[in-house]
Amino acid sequence: MCQVERAIIMAAGKGTRMRPITNSIPKPLVKIHDIPMIEGIINQLHQQGIFEIYVVVGYLKEQFNYLEDKYENLHLIDNPYYDTCNNISSLYVARNHLKNVIILDGDQIINNTQILSKEFKYSGYNCIYKQEIHNEWMLKLENGFVTSCSRTGGQDGWQLYSVSRWNEEDGKKLKKHLEIEFEEKKNTDIYWDDVALFCYPNEYQLSIKEMHEGDILEIDSFDELCSIDETYLNWGK
């Protein structure tokens, strides 16, 4: 059994689907019931005993500076490529911290802290079983291990969410493969998840960590934000 020793939180993106509020606030700093989304995640990582945290920033990065003062052993990592590259660039700049790590987006709501638990047997993603999904990433399993991934959904599979764990061995592979794709191949338009799932799938033995509906909430639009926190109904008025 492996144990998570550190976390990488991805927080460099522009959050364009949440405009207009993200014109002036990075999406992970948008408050839900008075608590910035990223702080909710940090506090829940602490509840699981995960205190070594790296936050990858880019868009409006200065607004994150207070986190280093507020949380001991939290470190900001600047992604200078955030405006021209996909999120492979964010994990690339954090590639030296991939040993026994949990990687997650900073703009989601965790409703069940247990999904961030430290213990894991195999590297892989948190997933929810779905009979059918559209336009979401879906994994297929055989004997508990990932055999394929679809970017457009499908039937009878596992919807992938942006929480994943990587052990020491797979972290070393991921670091090497990130460097090959980003530095050598200049493959800057892909998601970092593409590296293990599509670029080098035969070099990883990935499994999943099962979740249930409602354990995690992704907010993809300003309307969804308003439905979760009604104080935003009057935002900007």
Each residue's pLDDT expressed in tens, for the chain with a length of 237 residues:
999 999 999 999 999 988 989 999 999 999 999 999 999 999 999 999 999 999 999 999 999 999 999 999 999 999 999 999 999 999 999 999 999 999 999 999 999 999 999 999 999 999 999 999 888 999 999 999 999 999 999 999 999 999 999 999 999 999 999 999 999 999 999 999 999 999 999 999 999 999 999 999 999 899 999 999 999 988 766
- Structural domains in the chain (count): 1
Contacts of 224-231 with CB under 8 Å at 24 or more apart are 225/18, 225/21, 225/30, 225/32, 228/32, 228/109, 229/31, 229/32, 229/33
For 101, the domain range is: 2-234
CB-based contact 38:15 (threshold 8 Å): no
User: Does the CA dihedral 210-212-158-175 come out positive or negative?
Assistant: negative
- We report the CATH number of the domain holding residue 42 as 3.90.550.10
Cα–Cα distance for residue pair 9/103, rounded to 1 Å: 6
**Per DSSP, what are the bridge partners of residue 10?**
56, 105
- Global pTM reads 0.96
